[in-house]
Copies of this chain bind each other. A is one copy, B any other.
Amino acid sequence: MASLITPDQFSANQDAEALRKACQGWGTNEKVIISILSHRSATQRKEIRVAYEQLYQEDLLKRLESELSGDFERAVYRWTLDPADRDAVLANLAIKKPDETDYNVIIEISSVRCPEELLAVRKAYQLRYRCSLEEDLAQHTAGDIRKLLVALVTAYRYDGNEINEKLASSEANILHDAIKEKCFNHEEIIRILSTRSKTQLMATFNKYRDDHGSSISKNLLGDGTSNFQKALHVAIRCLNDPKKYFEKVVTKNSCVILSLLETIPSQTNILSLIFCVKVLRNAIIGTGTDENALTRVIVTRAERDLRDIMVVYYKKNSVPLEQAVAQETSGDYKTFLLTLLGKN
Contacts and interface: CB of A to CB of B under 8 A. Distances in A.
A328 B146 CA distance: 55
A191 interface: yes
B157 A132 contact: yes
A114 to B, nearest CB: 13
A131 B197 CA distance: 8
B138 A195 contact: yes
B162 A132 contact: no
A126 interface: yes
Contacts of A162: 130
A13 interface: no
Nearest to A137: B195
A201 to B, nearest CB: 11
Contacts of A158: 126, 130-132, 135
> Does more than half of chain A's interface fall in helix, strand or loop, or is it mixed?
helix
A91 to B, nearest CB: 14
A259 interface: no
Nearest to A116: B123
A237 B16 CA distance: 48
A74 interface: no
A195 B135 contact: yes
Contacts of A187: 146-147
Contacts of A150: 151, 191, 195
A156 B138 contact: no
B160 A130 contact: yes
A99 to B, nearest CB: 22
Contacts of A196: 135
Question: Most B CB atoms within 10 A — which of A131, A150, A157?
Answer: A131
A185 interface: no
A122 interface: yes
A102 interface: no
A135 B151 CA distance: 11
A155 interface: yes
A217 interface: no
A162 B150 CA distance: 23
Contacts of A151: 150, 154
A113 to B, nearest CB: 15
A160 B147 CA distance: 25
A146 B151 CA distance: 12
Contacts of A139: 191, 195
A150 B150 CA distance: 11
B132 A195 contact: yes
A134 interface: yes
Interface in A118-177: 119, 122, 126, 130-132, 134-135, 138-139, 146-147, 150-151, 154-160, 162
A313 B160 CA distance: 48
Interface in A88-125: 119, 122
A134 B160 contact: no
Contacts of A156: 119, 122, 126, 132, 134, 154
12 contacts: A126-B160, A132-B155, A132-B156, A132-B158, A134-B155, A134-B195, A135-B157, A146-B187, A147-B187, A150-B195, A154-B154, A154-B156
